[in-house]
Amino acid sequence: MTVAYLCSLRTSSFLLGEDEVLETRWATLAELTELDHHEWIDQVLTDAAR
């Protein structure tokens, strides 16, 4: 299952519980397209970049 949603971050740092995620970091749109993902995510990324 993949979930995509619009969000915003009000600070420049991440604060997450240790058991929530393995890694967080900022990424460019070009870097995101290089990650493993479902084909339909390409359209989500294109829409988000508008």
Range of 48's domain?
26-50
Phi, psi of 40, rounded to the nearest 5 degrees:
-70, -15
Residue 8, domain member (yes or no): no
- The total of structural domains in the chain comes to 1
Q: Is residue 5 part of a domain?
A: no
Residue 3 resides in a domain: no
Is residue 42 a part of any domain in this protein? yes
pTM score: 0.46
The answer to the question of residue 44 being in a domain is yes
pLDDT digit string (tens) for 1-50? 556 666 677 777 767 777 767 777 778 888 888 888 888 888 888 888 78
Question: Cβ contacts of residue 4 below 8 Å, gap of 6+?
Answer: 41, 44
Residue 9 forms part of a structural domain: no
